[in-house]
Chains A and B, each alone.
Chain A
């Protein structure tokens, strides 16, 4: 259906920054499902994975209530890695670095963000090129923030160490 994907916010990192938040004042709570894309996201520091937290009232929820599970299919010798974890303080993606050409690209769908009575979920599809290991990694998985009581109004991105050097982050609402 034409016109079903409504762009709410786009952030391009041009000066390195520790975190990027989509939503907050640009959050439109009239949607049931949101889509987030990030592309060409590069860390300043080597060997980092994108970390994500939902925001509530513009502030990231930092509680240890993030559960996630995902699988990475990759051209490393082992072929795949699995990452199930519960009671974390963030969601995470593929680990990659800052060598030439290395970058992460992903599409996320966010569910139940505006509900105060249901857990908020996300699904993730990410690919990352890891030049140092000559690896392309494809990741698929999802997660849930197991708390209720407060509606979520955005998502924060960061790396565990060091800044985001560059990248574009876009938030869309899926029109009903």
Chain B
């Protein structure tokens, strides 16, 4: 698990490499219908945004992944019904599989 400070350092390196002054392709803003390269303040903000985004993905990405992997509520209710009828563990197995496939960061 990376700290926010470590991710900020990585973001700084990545954003610095993008600057045209450093031989990169640049980051551009389209304002008042004119396309121009980021100002230094905008590059600084891009570093903060990237670090925060990477940190959020690291800490919370599993939540969205789980939301997308769970079966629909009607399907889960159907699983529970058949688990009761057949003495199976379809529903618990499904939930456990989703959690295992998308683990919460330690």
Residues of chain A having any CB pair with chain B under 8 Å: 9, 11, 13, 15-21, 24-26, 58, 60, 62, 76-79, 81-82, 89, 95, 133, 158, 160-161, 163
Contact = CB atoms under 8 A, between A and B. Distances in A.
Interface of B: 27-33, 35, 38, 42, 45-46, 48-50, 52-53, 64, 67-73, 75
A11 B64 contact: no
A92 B66 CA distance: 19
B29 A18 contact: yes
Nearest to A20: B30
Given A78-B69, A81-B68, A19 B35 contact: no
Contacts, number: 68
Indicate the member of A9, A18, A95, A158 with the most B CB atoms within 10 Å: A18
A81 B31 CA distance: 33
Contact of B35 (A15, A25, A95): A15
Contact of B38 (A13, A18, A160): A18
5 contacts: A13-B30, A18-B27, A18-B46, A24-B32, A79-B73
